[in-house]
A and B are shown apart, each in its own frame.
Chain A
């Protein structure tokens, strides 16, 4: 039987705003399947996003949903989590939202290892505003603000997250869908800050400017460019050019989670004060 998405969808909010060929819908469905697999109670779930095409996703989900300001999703999410640490908080952003304007918040959320799942929809471009280059636009690619080919060096989002202290970091793509379902499930279940970089295609503002005939072409590029971590690690050094590993890239199950540590501290303060009284 086909999977029934309707329990997690808000009535009357479809069709979504995404362009034909945009891969965000694929990730959206994967997220809903993962939530369903986890039997996630919708009342206990907050989805928080910034601004951009990716950040429109929460509006379609029947949960507590917050569409914040450009780059700031993790700041709002942190406040929510500190106020209600027992609730599930999932934040999501485009690559620009998460790593350009929101880059500072991104690394600090990773550093705190606060129990939030962060999905970064990396489509290598600023989609919503019409294709300006982002911190992940490949060098040489054309963008509306890089007419002659991008000269800005890139971030590797997964490496950035690992370096900043996130305790779970994974990479998935809109092509490798069954793997993505598993990754998202594991990321959401993980206690601590989990980052999933999800490779996406923006045919409208990136693909067609850069010699991809259509969205399928971009999906096939994903198929060829990303391979499971184990397979990637077996590649001889001269064969890794242009390829990146997929799957869970880093996981520390013992890292201390921010809210747990903070509230253990405050409980200790109260216990001590009561002892004194």
Chain B
């Protein structure tokens, strides 16, 4: 029997993690993400998992990577300043291809910013926060139910592609309470990392000859291998100034960007006949839907493109959307971040208009409706 619960977004995230088999959480308290940690500190002991509050977010991220390497399904959750601190180790998980899930409940910034205010201004940091070229999967749920679903999907994608997955949502849905359907175990498939066959004479942790995602052995299971954040050869040992560095970094990006068909997920709301488009996610997309309904009541044909996967960016789908509509409006709780990506992939096929807000209040349907009428 599936369960129906009234949950806060952050609690739904914790429930999603448990559903996906999460058995390790390493964190550090920070508003507005703390409820994820609080919930799991209570629930993980009941299922034999482990929770640890580390000394800072750098440590939390390190503990998550270590636990995953030792076979756990590991999660951390943070916000703004904490997300900044995690960046170096996040890049470590990317280059060493260690699965884990990072929740970023976005609050205002930079610096301490507006701890209790909603924001969508980490979205570029999700993509570019750590140094170097790197693959990123980032999911952007917009409803409490979706936070549950997308957290499960985040674990599945991270295990499938051997890479960290970020789930980024704003404080509004993080703290909002909505009805959540938690299906029985097995209804949503749970993916576990592919392990190498047993008894290999030599296990190569980064052997890419059979595909872009090499099978991953956990520590202590008999294949004694080396893991380093230095660029490495198939056996995991460092290499310097070597052509493989280039091809291996390309592989890391390809394993994510090349699998858009599997990773990308969007909702199209009333776009069939749309002449004006809106590109929005999270709380801003919810306001956009209300604005669209109001505009359509007045006969204006508006539709919404709502990405549930922000990274890799849904390039082709947004490009097609840009071809269809006369203008794309991009409401976001920042001073204009994801609009840059929309502009880039739209290739000047339509006008692009932003609605930006960072004063700690959400973008309202009325604001969006006014913009729709302006560009009509």
Contact = CB atoms under 8 A, between A and B. Distances in A.
- Asked if A and B bind, the verdict is yes
Interface string A83-104: 1100100000000000000001
A72 B55 CA distance: 12
B24 A43 contact: no
Contact of A84 (B55, B71, B88): B71
B46 A269 contact: yes
B45 A78 contact: no
Contacts of B65: 68, 76, 79
Nearest to A66: B227
A85 to B, nearest CB: 9
A270 interface: yes
Interface residues of B, number: 45
A17 B290 CA distance: 63
Interface string B61-72: 111111111111
Contacts of A59: 226, 228, 237-238
Contacts of B44: 266
B50 A82 contact: yes
Nearest to B54: A75
Interface stretch (B117-125, B216-224, B263-271, B340-348): B216-224
Given A63-B224, A104-B56, A80 B66 contact: yes
B48 interface: yes
B24 A82 contact: yes
A226 B56 CA distance: 36
Given A67-B228, A83-B70, A78 B220 contact: no
Nearest to A258: B52
Residue of B68, B71, B220, B222 with highest tally of chain A CB at under 10 A = B220
Contact of B67 (A43, A65, A67, A83): A83
Given A59-B237, A265-B45, A72 B89 contact: yes
Contact of A82 (B58, B63, B88, B221): B63
Contacts, number: 144
A50 B73 CA distance: 23
A69 B89 contact: yes
A84 B228 contact: no
B220 A84 contact: yes
A73 B261 CA distance: 37
A69 B92 contact: yes
B45 A269 contact: yes
A48 interface: yes
Interface string B37-56: 00000001110111010111
Contact of A44 (B54, B60, B220): B220
B92 A104 contact: no
A3 B228 CA distance: 29
B240 to A, nearest CB: 11
A118 interface: no
B45 A84 contact: no
Contact of B72 (A43, A76, A83): A83
A273 B69 CA distance: 30
B188 interface: no
B375 interface: no
Given A59-B226, A80-B70, A46 B219 contact: yes
Interface of B: 23-24, 26, 44-46, 48-50, 52, 54-56, 58-72, 74, 88-89, 92, 219-222, 224-230, 237-238
28 contacts: A43-B220, A44-B220, A46-B219, A59-B237, A62-B224, A64-B225, A65-B227, A69-B88, A69-B89, A69-B229, A72-B62, A72-B89, A74-B59, A75-B66, A75-B89, A78-B54, A79-B69, A82-B50, A83-B23, A83-B24, A83-B50, A84-B71, A84-B219, A104-B55, A105-B62, A266-B46, A269-B45, A273-B46
